[in-house]
């Protein structure tokens, strides 16, 4: 019997494992996180471009054009075509007396309305943040409810209350009271806007107040401070940033004042179609005021945006200088 012995070679040595580069792994993780962030932001970015950037670009382009008749006859004729006019629309807007008269009205309106609204909103926020109100949720909803009413509906409601023939409270006021007279109509519009937006600004202040650490209040009480002193010495200074935001939003909104004067103008023809810059822009676009068309209307809009931006920047700088002092 023959025995065959199989001789096996030695097993090959295992290949040494090369450790992964931590820098490459970290770089890959950073790229993946960045891609995830962009994917989450994509819907907002698309909407922002379509709803915000595209209209601005179209408006800027349109401001350099005017619609003129295509015909060569004595009275024009033919379809309206866009013709490049350069800065002519801006010159027309900047030299229009009606535009600056309306701008003066809204600035006076802002000087009357914004301080009252901000003070009332801050007072309501301080009240809801205190221990005096037992059901703050109910009161917070009640104060905010006017903001939920569409602006045009709210303006129509107040027009009903201001009209002497149908108003339920005018018969009980002194004879001759007229909320839509030339001397009082700005106050009437200020009342309408204050009623609508006070609750909205109250929420801005209330959010800022609730972010303040409660330890500050407890320490002040231990030092013998009263509730009023805590509000004036601690709460009010700490909501300065919220006040800045509320005033800036109010300035921008005031420049765009539209619903209230349009509704009141329907019952008071003496106001005209250019009572505010926004009314002038809208009626220019709709062909009610000459020169009309999208070109002049876009020029008015951009000029209004520029003025609102300048006013907001000036106010922000004044507040910063006051805070540094």
- Same-domain check for residues 318 and 174: yes
Q: What is the mean pLDDT of residues 65-82?
A: 69
Domain containing residue 53: 33-57
The tokens for 84 are 């490049």
For residue 102, being part of any structural domain is answered with yes
Residues 102, 37, single domain; the answer is no
d(CA 276, CA 193): 15
Instruction: Give per-residue pLDDT as tens, 235-283.
Output: 888 888 888 889 888 988 898 899 999 999 988 889 989 999 999 999 9
194, 109 Cβ separation under 8 angstroms: no
**Do residues 199 and 310 both lie within one domain?**
yes
Q: Confirm if 270 and 251 have CB atoms less than 8 A apart.
A: no
How many structural domains compose the chain?
Answer: 2
Contacts of 45 (CB under 8 A, 6+ apart): none
Give yes or no: residues 53 and 139 share one domain. no
> In which element (H, E) is residue 83 found?
strand 80-84
pLDDT band at 292 (very low <50, low <70, confident <90, very high): confident
What is d(CA 29, CA 19) in angstroms, rounded to the nearest whole number?
A: 17
% residues pLDDT > 90 (the chain): 38
Q: What is the DSSP letter of 20?
A: P
285 and 292 in contact (C-beta within 8 Å)? Answer: yes
Same domain, 265 and 211: yes
Angle between helices 294-324 and 240-255 (to 10 degrees): 160
With bands split at pLDDT 50, 70 and 90, how would you rate the model's confidence at 4?
very low
Phi, psi (rounded to 5 degrees) for 57 = -65, -45
Residue 63 pLDDT > 70, yes or no?
yes
**Separation of first and last alpha carbons in the chain:** 112
Q: Is residue 110 domain-resident?
A: yes
Domain containing residue 313: CATH number:
1.10.3720.10
Are 40 and 161 in the same domain?
A: no
Q: Within the chain, what is the greatest distance between any pair of CA atoms?
A: 139
Q: Are residues 182 and 234 in the same domain?
A: yes
The pTM assigned to this predicted structure is 0.79
Q: Are residues 51 and 99 in the same domain?
A: no
Lowest mean pLDDT among 61-70, 76-85, 136-145: 76-85
Task: State the Cα–Cα distance between residues 246 and 316, nearest whole angstrom.
Answer: 11
Q: How far apart are CA 325 and CA 316, in angstroms?
A: 14
> 140 and 43: one domain?
no
Residue 45 sits in the same domain as residue 155: no
């Amino acid at each position: 019997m023959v025995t065959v012995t199989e001789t096996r070679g030695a097993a090959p040595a295992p290949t040494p494992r090369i450790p992964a580069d931590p820098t490459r792994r970290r770089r890959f993780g950073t790229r993946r996180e960045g891609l995830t962030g962009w994917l989450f932001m994509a819907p907002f970015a698309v909407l922002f471009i379509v709803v915000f950037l595209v209209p601005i670009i179209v408006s800027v382009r349109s401001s350099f054009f005017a619609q003129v008749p295509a015909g060569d006859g004595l009275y024009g004729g033919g379809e309206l075509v866009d013709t490049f006019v350069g800065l002519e629309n801006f010159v027309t807007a900047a030299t229009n007396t009606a535009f600056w008269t309306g701008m003066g009205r809204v600035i006076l309106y802002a000087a009357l309305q914004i301080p009252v609204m901000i003070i009332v909103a801050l007072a309501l926020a301080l009240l809801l943040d205190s221990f005096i109100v037992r059901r703050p949720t109910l009161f917070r909803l009640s104060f905010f409810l006017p903001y939920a009413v569409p602006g045009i509906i709210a303006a129509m409601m107040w027009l009903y209350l201001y009209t002497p023939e149908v108003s339920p409270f005018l018969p009980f006021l002194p004879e001759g009271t007229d909320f839509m007279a030339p001397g009082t109509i700005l106050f009437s519009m200020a009342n309408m806007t204050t009623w609508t937006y006070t609750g909205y600004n109250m929420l801005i202040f209330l959010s800022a107040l609730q972010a303040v650490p409660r330890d500050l209040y407890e320490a002040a009480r231990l030092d013998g401070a009263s509730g009023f002193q805590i509000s004036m010495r601690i709460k009010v200074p700490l909501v300065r940033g919220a006040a800045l935001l509320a005033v800036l939003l109010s300035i921008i909104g005031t420049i765009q004042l539209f619903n209230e004067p349009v509704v009141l103008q329907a019952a008071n023809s003496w106001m005209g179609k250019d009572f505010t810059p926004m009314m002038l822009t809208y009626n220019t676009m709709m062909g009610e005021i000459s020169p009309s068309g999208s070109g002049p209307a876009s020029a008015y809009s951009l000029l209004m945006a520029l003025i609102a931006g300048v006013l907001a920047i000036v106010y922000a700088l004044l507040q910063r200088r006051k805070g540094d002092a």
